[in-house]
Amino acid sequence: MEDMNLLFCAVSAAALDICALVLIIASYRERSTGNKQWKKISADMELVEQGFTYHLGCDEILIGRHASADIRLPDISVSRYHAMLTVADGVWTITDIGSKSGVYVNGNLVKSKKLCENDVITLGNRKLTLRKTVNPKKERRKNK
């Protein structure tokens, strides 16, 4: 009887463990689904600056010199909190949040502007380009 008790306890505990594990694995599977979904929502864009690429992973992106900014541009010409990128319905918008040197899109000083692909954003001395995400793997495949 004692052995039976132990056995079934162990079995049910193991079943719970495996179930939790399966759910974690399923959650990881969903993560890739979520990423794909996000690409659709965010129009699959990224910011590029002279070889550096900044991934745009959420719908509000703070650009500035401050350490807490999502995209940090350590340049004295950039304000601590310079501009904010937001996305809605697959369209990215840049908004000036009280910067000193202003936000320029394709050379025009703007307060807030919707962005198109390959727009160049100038913050102080830094120039950033918004473009479709380039997937290195796909690139390689194309080259082959």
Partner 1 sequence: MIKNPFAYLFSCLFVLAAHGTMLINIFYNGKYDDIKDLIILAAAVLGLDISYYIIMLFFKQYTYTIDFMLLLILNMSVIFQSCFGGVSFSAKHYITCIAALTACRFGHMLTCNHNWIQQQKKYVWIGIGVLMIIILIFTGSRSMWINIGSFSIQPSEFMKPLLVLACATSITEQQKKHKVWKFDIVWENIILFGITAAVCLFQWWCRDLGSIPTFAAIYAAGFFLRICYPKAKFSNKTLIIAGSVVLVAAIVGIKIAPEYVKDRLFVDIWSDKDGNGYQQSQALIAIADGGWFGKGPGKGYLHNVFAHESDIVFSSISEEWGLLYAIMMTLVILLIAASPLINPPRSYYHGTMCTGICAAFTVQMALNIFGSCNMIPFTGVTIPFISMGGSSMVTSGFMAGMLVAAQSPVFRKPKKKKSKKPANSSARRRSAA
Partner 2 sequence: MKSIRRCQHIITIFLLIFIAGMAALVIKINREAPFYMMNSDHHELGMVYDRNGEVLFDGQGTGQYPDNYFLDVGNLIGDDKGQMENTLVARNIKKLNNYSFSEGLLETGGQAAIYTTLDHYANRAVYDAYAGARGCTVAYNYKTGEILVCASVPSVDVTKGYADIANFESGTLISKAMYGTVPGSTQKVSTVITAMESLGRDRLLAKSYNCVGRYLNANGDYIDCHNVLGHGTLNLQQAVENSCNPYFAQLVSDPDLPLENIIQGYRRMGYAVNDDKEEYFNIDGIICEKASTTLVDKNEFRTQWGCIGQGDTLVSPVQLMMWQSAVANGTGKMTMPHLIDRVFSVHGNITQIAKTKYGDKICSEETAQAVRQILLTNGSNNYSVSIAGYNVGVKSGTAQVKEGAEENSLLVGFLDDARHPIAFCILIENMYSTTVTTEQLATVLLNALCS
Which among 134, 136, 131, 128 has a CA at the least distance from the CA of 49? 128
Residue 57 binds to partner 2 (criterion: CB under 8 A): yes
- Binder of residue 19, out of partner 1, partner 2, none (CB less than 5 to 8 A by kind): partner 1
Between CA 142 and CA 144 the distance in angstroms is 5
**Three-state SS for 76?**
coil
- Binder of residue 87, out of partner 2, partner 1, none (CB less than 5 to 8 A by kind): partner 1
* Chain contacts with partner 1 (rule: CB under 8 A): 4-6, 8-20, 22-31, 33-34, 36-38, 40-41, 57-60, 62, 66-68, 80-81, 84, 86-90, 97-98
Quick count: other Cβ atoms within 10 Å of Cβ 43? 17
**Minimum CB separation from partner 2 for residue 70, in Å?**
5
Residue 119 binds to partner 2 (criterion: CB under 8 A): no
Q: In this structure, are strands 83-88 and 60-64 parallel, antiparallel, or unpaired? A: antiparallel
Q: Which is nearer to partner 1, 37 or 106 (CB)?
A: 37
**Minimum CB separation from partner 1 for residue 31, in Å?**
5
Residue 70 binds to partner 2 (criterion: CB under 8 A): yes
Copy the structure tokens of residue 83: 């501009």
C-alpha 13: how far from its chain's center?
A: 39
Which among 102, 131, 98, 97 has a CA at the least distance from the CA of 117? 131
Q: Which is nearer to partner 1, 99 or 130 (CB)?
A: 99
Using CB under 8 A, list all residues that contact partner 2: 55-58, 60-62, 68-70
